[in-house]
Amino acid sequence: MKAYLTIIFVLIFSLFIGCQRTSNSQDSHTLSTNSYNHSGGEVLFHIISKTNTLSDENGGYKDSGHYSIIYQAKSKRYDMPIEGLNNDAFYTLYENGKREEETLYHVAADPKNVSNKILLLLDFSGSIVNDCDKSDASTNPSNLCYQIVNASQKFIDKVLSKNQSMSIYYFNSQKIILPLSNNAQPINDATLLKSSLSKLYDANWRDEHLKGYSGTNLYGAVSDAIEVVRRWFPELYGKEDKVDIANRKRYDFATLVIFTDGHDNAHTTSLESILNKIEKFSKNYYYFTIGLGSDVDNSALKQIGKDGYFRANEIEELDGKFENLGERISSFANSFYRLDFCPVSKNSLVLKVKLNDDRGYYGEMKERIDLISKDFRCDLY
């Protein structure tokens, strides 16, 4: 499998997208739950790849097949991914400006050609450890330790899917981030991921791994997280600017989700340095941040979370912030489509696709298609 990254959904959603900030709030870009299901408006189409099935693995010609375009649909107004546009009746195809009744096409949701690898990075510095030491850590909703475990477990259930996987890492004052489970690579096993979070309730584990590392190396952790994500795609490590993605049959994203209840006090690197790194690696990467309480640096978290910053003032609000972000990333995963078509033209053409669905969405995609000169039998499926 070839994989290409442009950063956080990000969140998986190009999220997922170089999502633009959509909220007018001073503290957050968070959208309400209903915003993910808004109806109507212009749709933007982001072309992921243009391929055909008329060539075999050795480059030989096959006499049956079709052309395909993989794309993502996003709301122009909200810059949000849109699900549910995989109804053939929503689309009209034009070849060189003319609607041809004999053109065959089919639109399908396409999770199998797109994947999103999520790194959930959690702050396990002194304040979290202190709350985990309390006797009610696993039962009290006002306990920060309880909230981190509970909110993260719900987040896992929300975002895991066939085309979205996750790895959980933690940071404190140490120079590098560490995987919470034995799986440094993203996995789809919700049970294993959720059980790894329960380590916070284990006093022996906390004594061995967390005690004595009370500081918050936030900037260093973000920098290290980017390197971890890059290593998930070894064939592209260090080669992002040289990779031709136009004809890829797979398109892979990475999403970084960073939670903290504090600010950087380790000073192992600067905010400017990691922002430069984020800008450099933001083509298929998405960055989201969640901040809790009054000790967080809102300005820094907004800049790091370029695709979304979710702020919780109180511990009890943390669950909702993780849920809102989970909805956004889940929508991202379901906003990719594959248009399979067989044109009637025998020459290269300009394919125009108009969208007009029953919820009031509309939009237009226009692409030049280089056709194979040989005859072939149309086979959409």
24 located within any domain: no
Give 10-residue mean pLDDT values along the chain (381 residues): 38 35 33 48 91 83 91 87 92 95 92 85 94 95 95 95 93 96 89 96 95 95 95 70 48 92 95 94 88 96 95 94 92 90 92 93 94 89 80
Within this chain, do residues 150 and 89 fall inside the same structural domain, yes or no?
no
Within this chain, do residues 166 and 54 fall inside the same structural domain, yes or no?
no
Within this chain, do residues 239 and 303 fall inside the same structural domain, yes or no?
yes
Within this chain, do residues 284 and 368 fall inside the same structural domain, yes or no?
no
157 located within any domain: yes
Find out whether 144 and 261 touch, Cβ atoms under 8 Å.
yes
Within this chain, do residues 174 and 134 fall inside the same structural domain, yes or no?
yes
For residue 62 the two structure tokens come to: 């096959």
Among 343, 378, 371, smallest CA distance to 65 is for 378
4 located within any domain: no
Half-sphere exposure of 260 (CA within 13 A, CB side): 29
Within this chain, do residues 211 and 149 fall inside the same structural domain, yes or no?
yes
23 located within any domain: no
101 located within any domain: yes
Within this chain, do residues 105 and 127 fall inside the same structural domain, yes or no?
no
3 located within any domain: no
Within this chain, do residues 126 and 164 fall inside the same structural domain, yes or no?
yes
| Parent domain of 347 | 33-112+335-378
CATH of the domain at 252: 3.40.50.410
Residue type, 5: L
The Cα 140–Cα 315 span in angstroms is: 11
pLDDT at 319: 94
Length of the chain equals: 381
CATH of the domain at 76: 2.60.40
Find out whether 345 and 351 touch, Cβ atoms under 8 Å.
no
The gap between the terminal CA atoms of the chain, to the nearest Å, is 22
Within this chain, do residues 147 and 187 fall inside the same structural domain, yes or no?
yes
20 located within any domain: no
pLDDT at 237: 63
Among 81, 45, 108, 150, smallest CA distance to 329 is for 81
Within this chain, do residues 62 and 153 fall inside the same structural domain, yes or no?
no
pLDDT at 381: 80
Instruction: Give me the helix-helix angle, 218-231 and 271-280, nearest 10°.
Output: 20
For residue 109 the two structure tokens come to: 């949701």
How many independent structural domains does the chain possess?
A: 2
Within this chain, do residues 121 and 106 fall inside the same structural domain, yes or no?
no
pLDDT at 8: 35
Which strand ranges, in their side-by-side order, compose the sheet holding 309-312?
Answer: 178-179, 164-171, 114-123, 251-260, 285-292, 309-312
Find out whether 340 and 64 touch, Cβ atoms under 8 Å.
no
φ, ψ at 342 (rounded to 5°): -125, 110
Within this chain, do residues 345 and 217 fall inside the same structural domain, yes or no?
no
Find out whether 97 and 63 touch, Cβ atoms under 8 Å.
no
108 located within any domain: yes
